[in-house]
Each structure stands twice: as C-alpha cells, then as structure tokens.
Amino acid sequence: MGQIINGKEVALKVKEDIKSFVDDRKEKKLKIPKIASILVGNDGGSIYYMNSQEKVANSLGVEFVKVTLPEVCDDIDVISEIHKLNEDDGVQGIILQLPLPVKFNEKKIIREISPNKDIDCLTFESQGKLYMGEPKFLPCTPNSVVTLIKSLNIDIVGKNVVVLGRSNIVGKPVAQLLLNENATVTICHSKTKNLKEVCKGADILVVAIGKPKFIDESYVNENTIVIDVGTSSFEGKITGDVDFDKVIEKCKLLTPVPGGVGALTTTLLIKNACEALKENEY
C-alpha cells in the first residue's frame, strides 16, 4: 500500500516563512504585502476560492482586498479596475478570478494586468518568461506540484515524468517546470495512443484532466509517485482525477484530494505577493 503525500504539512512550512516575513516588516513599520482579487459575476466556485484566499492571507497578516463587479458590466469596466490596481503602489499582487462569465474577452482583460503584479502568472509576458526559463513569478498550481515532489527529497533529475493534461493553466506550465528540473517529460492527452502503458511506465505521474476518478490502479506501477491536480464535484464531494482508494493500494506515493496540491496553491500565491514586495523595493 502506498503512502499519502500531505500537502497541508508542506504548506505549513511555507506559511511559517510568510508569517515571519510579514511580522518582521510590521515590527520595523515597513509596508506589508497587499493582494487585490477581482471577481466578476457570482460564480460559486470563484467565490469559494476567493474567500479561501482571503482567509489564508489574513491568517498570515497579508492584506486582502476584494473587488467585485456585477456580470452586467463590460470589458472596459474590468480593465478600468485593473488599471487602478496597476497604479496603486500599495498593491503588490492582482488576482483575476477565472473563468470570467462567457460574454467577457478573457485574454484581452488578462493582458491589462501589470506583469509586475501578475502573481497568478496569467499574462502573456509572465508565461513567456516562464518558457524562456526566466520567470518573474512561478504559476501557483504547477509550482505546488513541483514543491510537493521536492518535499519528498526525491532527485527529479532524469526521472521519467508523465503529465496527463495539456491545459495552459496546469499541464503545459507544470511540464516546463519539471523540464527546468531536468526531468524527462512526456505530455499525454485525449489523443495519446496506448495511454495506460505510457502512464504505467512513469516514475512520476501528474494528472490534471478534470475527470473524476479517471485514473485507476491499471495506470500505475508499484513505484509510481502520483500527483493528483484534479478537483471535481462527484457525488456531492470534492474528488480528484485519481480513484484514490484503488490507486493507493498499488502506487508508492499519492496526493489526496482535498489535502494535496490544492492545500499548497493558495499559500504559494501569497508567497508570490511577498516576493513582489521585496523586488519592488530595490
């Protein structure tokens, strides 16, 4: 039977570092990190995520401001709010809750976020720097995956890593981060042939496809480290892309959902805001 990778424990160490940084700045009467989160409309998932971000930020002494806009507004209204935040020296990080309602031009709006405050790594400039190996901020969910793997004291160099999923938010950037660690990375997707065989040969399997319980024990071997990035509602519960009960019986290590990757993502987002504050002071 495999062991569980506890994302909450890893997040706790990062939170301690952030809290120490913020407390030190307060003691010296210096500026503390401030994050602004923009919500357009009333998507339940986005509201939940924003409230979670606020809770973690406040617990660490980081300021968190909510900017809420009605769905009846238009692109110009959202861009206007972004420009105000770009020009506000008190704000170090801007988060745009995604997805936006369908009528909005998401790419156009994202482009207006200042790369210096793009702590979620959404803009073209931020993503371009990531793929050039010179990132200003690391995208939080992909960084959570790599951070969890590193927490196991496993040498990633040369490891055969299979990333299942090719989204711009997780699949592609996590593959790039793992390439930066000198892993040998294969990206699989819905058109991949012999998918089970490819996955089963992985030292590390990262799953990010948004299909609850898609991966069972036939996709892994006894030494596979499985990182489940998926979060879906399934039979009234938050469930990952991996069938946890079946896979834990066979693999070496597995992240749970919840309590795995997601437990670390928001913390790393706040860490990016701290890094932005430090960098902008020089």
Which residues participate in the annotated binding site? 165-167, 231
Q: 18: how many CB neighbours lie within 10 A of its CB?
A: 22
Integer angstrom CA distances of residue 54 from 65, 144, 146, 216? 8, 19, 24, 35
Strands, E, within 56-192: which ranges? 63-69, 93-96, 160-164, 184-188
Residue 237's SS3 state is: strand
Alpha-carbon dihedral 261, 147, 100, 171, rounded to 10 degrees: -90
Can you read off the two tokens belonging to residue 264?
A: 């670390």
Q: For residue 94, count CB atoms less than 10 angstroms from its CB and return exposed for 0-12, middle for 13-18, buried for 19 or more.
A: buried
* Residue numbering of the annotated binding site for NADP(+): 165-167, 231
Q: How far apart are CA 137 and CA 188, in angstroms?
A: 26
Q: How far apart are CA 2 and CA 249, in angstroms?
A: 6
Residue carrying structure tokens 């606020």:
54
